Structure 1
């Protein structure tokens, strides 16, 4: 049996809005990786006489504190969303205004880093940039979800992770270029570029729209972004065109009949960040809705922390140092080893970028789906971490490089994009703002923990350190297999035209 249903047709304005939104997460990716290839150029053992010196005096431990400044700022920024909601609407859309604030923090952070003359000032710049990134990571997934047609929310949502990966790639490429050469202060141009990108987002903001769910007329805003066209299909395909959010089915809105679950600031919240945390830690019998919120919140916390504890940032932050240590026993000069390590680090980032594309069509539940991609991702990372440990213990540079590449590819296949994509799907939209803040805060908390303990662990355990990540990734695989589920439904009311 065939009938007519409507296929979304995206407008050029939709592409502009998506680009404007993901500039914020691009800067997060840029900030994540910008210091990794620049460590040799910006650090020196002797005092730096002025803010325009070629390097800054700091030890490896102090460089770790500078790196951690970004994650501490991200943790703070991710918790700012709920308090800001009370004041942001006076600027227009609360989501749009939050992205503008994110850009302001990033401009300030980039400029402070560029003119830093000591490691505490450099750490302050990283802290400011981290605050902007924390706000952005909380806002962007829900914003993309809200402006996208229901049938394309998965594919559009992956652009959040793609923008992060592109930011990492650009930062790595700049570090490998002449901007990362020792004995030059050209490394200061890199944080200026970050500030310039944030400034571009601020200048484009007057032309961007409000988040539809922050508007009194969301449907009129969405009509500017995408239209629908009649399309012949059989009843089975139509029934599967729109699928239910994960774990928690949404009822259509009473006033519009809409089942759009991507709102970040829609109905009044029933839970604050801390009440959601208490609920997630509660054991015992709860009523139906509260139990579904608890299940969804627990999965948000788990997937967000799993993304960081999987070990990916140990590779992204310190891949150059890891590979330099492995290459030391290869017989080459230290300068050649460092250059080779930088190039391999850039190659790792390219793989991370390329492997972000395959999950885009596969994320649909009619193909591979969220759960299987998460299983493939965590399983690949567990095996790769085990191989990396063995390679480091045996000073095998080629297997170590291959293991890092497969580790990164495994991350990109699932754990990179899906935790952000499913965040607005796991709970009813009335608690998405608080759930987003809680989930992203847990993500940053895990990031902070990892950035502070990885180097001491690596120094103490050597190659054995990645056995820990192999075990963590195996636990992630087992947990996803046992507790994660996606429930497609055969019929829900679509949004009225």
Structure 2
């Protein structure tokens, strides 16, 4: 009887500092302390369910991310016709999402450090919704551009904050699996943009694009803040309460609490973080790995393919290019789901190696198909054979990318950056990613007009460089706590 009373008192102490995380958790903790707890309450008190709920809610952000990427592909012809834009003007529209994302990425690290991961996502969601509304009501290119910039800003903040939040709340044995849900959500958003783009016009498609962030805003009130951020800010009572909810009220968290306290003890929130710190190997090496992976992820041409896949299929002679684009998106979702299952089994390095090797081979096949196609008549059998081969090669490229290079660079970036410089270094790595993405999406239409075969030859070369980079520099992070990973760089 006495142990039951003590447990009840302990749970009561846990609930007091946790009121700020939302009434849902307050209600759940009260249910858990009752002797006659119902079966549904027992399920809710399990930490794995809490973490999964948190991940599903914040994954609405990357769904908006993916929808933004996919939006420009099925809408190109309609928007050009309705607003009388040139191809170059539409290329500007497509690439402005990257410009907005660059601005968002510059601010993302500092926003996430000063007001928390949840506050950062709230700041991302509001301009994202406004951006879609502006696009849906646009009557000229200027409003179209403004809406794209606003949505891109939200994407930039989301692209840093969501992987970091997931990595900081996930247990070490499931961090890879949960972290890869970020990329799965992006691919799902892209596929939905392709799917709805077949049936609705571009204005209604923009309205649909606003829905994920409209759902994210209220959802943020029902999830806890990152315990590691709370610890870094010195909010120790809130930190322990948040971690207890995430791990389950019956779980002993004392060892993990001590590990996190030791890790953040040297990172005082009042300490000025500057670029001078990046001269130390324990800081510049993980930053270099993060920048290298995120940069090469863009240079292999993935966003160029996703932004303008409909145009690429039209160039390849595919009659129903919108349907082919949707099927490409659906295959990407399926391949990313497989990657999610493999992440904590095979490990990060082996998946990156398999992914990058396969991407290189696929892009060489696509380049060769376009070279042959450009040298034969459109009425010849070879022309149609090469069209099918280029389609198969692109599908295989998307599958190969999704198996490793899609999710792992963002996951590793969130795992290896030390907590003391995570805001600054994460902003730099994310900025480089979006800067290169802007360059690719801005020039891919021009490159395709120049030479489809030459364009994919360039992308194949970049994919081959990924193999070299992973072999030389990328560490394995599977099965290690964030504190162990970051300590290893010392």
Q: Does 1:303 align with 2:330?
A: no
* Alpha-carbon distance, 1:118 to partner: 1.1
CA–CA distance in structure 2, aligned partners of residues 259 and 467 of structure 1: 49
- More off after superposition, 481-490 vs 350-359: 481-490
* Per-residue deviation, 1:358: 1.9
Give me the whole-angstrom Cα distance separating, in 1, the residues matched to 2:468 and 2:171: 33
Which sits farther off after the overlay, 299-308 or 208-217? 208-217
Question: Alpha-carbon deviations, 1:261-317, whole Å to 9, x = none?
Answer: 8x9xx75387757446xx3xx6xxxxxxx2121111100110011111111112101
1:26 corresponds in structure 2 to 63
CA–CA separation in structure 2 for the residues paired with 1:490 and 1:154: 10
**Counterpart contact for 1:25–1:164, Cα < 8 Å:** yes
Equivalent in 232, 257, 260 of residue 259 of structure 2: 257
CA distance in structure 2 between the partners assigned to 1:488 and 1:172 by the alignment? 34
Give the match's secondary structure for 1:428.
Answer: coil
Query: Matches of 1:423 and 1:475 in 2, distance apart?
Result: 19
**Which deviates the most, 32-41 or 125-134?**
32-41
**CA 1:271–1:437 in structure 2 vs 1: closer, same or farther (change >3 Å)?**
farther
Q: 2:347 maps to which residue?
A: 369
1:118 — aligned with what? Answer: 140
Q: CA deviation at 1:205?
A: 2.5
Q: Does residue 268 in structure 1 map to residue 272 in structure 2?
A: no
- Aligned to 2:248, the other structure's residue is in SS state strand
The answer to whether the 8 Å contact 2:105/2:427 transfers is: yes
Q: Counterparts of 2:450 and 2:294 in 1: how far apart (Å)?
A: 27
**Partner Cα separation in structure 1 for residue 441 and residue 356 of structure 2:** 20
- Tell me what 1:470 maps to: 460
Residue in structure 2 matching 1:151, options 166, 170, 173: 173
Query: What is the DSSP-based 3-state SS (H/G/I as helix, E as strand, rest coil) of the residue aligned with 2:400?
Result: helix
The structure-2 alpha-carbon separation of the partners of 1:223 and 1:121, relative to structure 1 and needing over 3 Å to count, comes to same
- Please tell me whether the aligned partners of residues 11 and 224 of structure 1 are also in contact (alpha carbons under 8 angstroms): no
Q: Cα 1:75–1:260, aligned 2, differ >3 Å: closer, same or farther? A: farther
TM-score if structure 1 supplies the norm length? 0.78
Give the Å deviation of 1:418.
0.2
Q: CA deviation at 1:68?
A: 0.9
Query: Would you identify which runs of 4 or more consecutive aligned residues in structure 1 move more than 6 Å?
Result: 487-494
Gaps of 5+ in 1: 1-7, 45-54, 180-185, 231-251, 283-289, 329-336
The aligned counterpart of 2:356 is: 378
Alignment of 1:172-321 (within 5 A): 172-177=194-199, 179=200, 186-215=201-230, 216=235, 217-227=238-248, 256-258=258-260, 267-268=268-269, 272=273, 274-275=275-276, 279=278, 290-321=280-311
Cα distance in 2, alignment partners of residues 68 and 273 from structure 1: 31
Deviates more, 1:212-221 or 1:30-39: 212-221
How far the C-alpha of 1:368 sits from its partner, in A, is 2.0
Q: Does structure 1 residue 433 correspond to structure 2 residue 423?
A: yes
1:79 corresponds in structure 2 to 106
Distance 1:257-1:485 versus aligned 2 partners, 3 A rule: closer
Consecutive unaligned residues in structure 2, runs of 5 or more: 1-44, 374-385, 485-490
Q: Report if the CA contact (8 A) 1:73-1:126 is conserved.
A: yes
Distance 1:380 1:270, change over 3 A: farther
| CA distance in 2: counterparts of 1:381 and 1:273, whole angstroms | 37
How do 1:368-407 residues align onto structure 2 when only pairs under 5 Å count?
Answer: 368-395=346-373, 396-407=386-397
Hey, what's the Cα distance between the residues in 1 that align with 2:480 and 2:327? 44
Distance 1:59 1:344 in 2: 24
Distance 2:225 2:136 in 1: 33
Assess if the C-alpha contact under 8 Å between 1:259 and 1:493 holds in 2.
no
Q: 1:154 to 1:270 in 2, by over 3 A?
A: farther
Whole-angstrom CA distance in 1 between matches of 2:438 and 2:176: 29
Aligned pairs, how many?
419
Partners in 2 of 1:70 and 1:427 — Cα distance? Answer: 26
Distance 1:308 1:167 in 2: 18
The structure with the largest strand share of the pair is 1
1:415 aligns with 2:452: no
Contact 2:109–2:160 (Cα < 8 Å) also in 1: no
The 1:170–1:489 alpha-carbon spacing in structure 2 relative to 1, beyond 3 Å, is closer
| Partner Cα distance (2:77, 2:340) in 1 | 36
CA distance in 2, matches of 1:489, 1:95: 24
Does residue 353 of the first structure (1) align with residue 333 of the second (2)? yes
Q: CA–CA distance in 1 between the matches of 2:444 and 2:455?
A: 8
For residues 472 and 216 of structure 2, what CA distance do their matches in structure 1 show? 42
TM-score, structure 2 normalization: 0.79
Distance 1:26 1:387 in 2: 31
TM-fit CA distance, 1:446: 0.8
- RMSD of aligned residue pairs (Cα, Å): 2.8
C-alpha spacing 1:148/1:83, structure 2 compared with 1 (3 Å): closer
Instruction: Give the 3 Å change call, closer, same or farther, for CA 487–351 of structure 1 in structure 2.
Output: closer
Distance in 2 separating the partners of 1:454 and 1:115: 28
Distance of aligned partners of 1:492 and 1:74 in 2 relative to their CA distance in 1, 3 Å threshold: closer
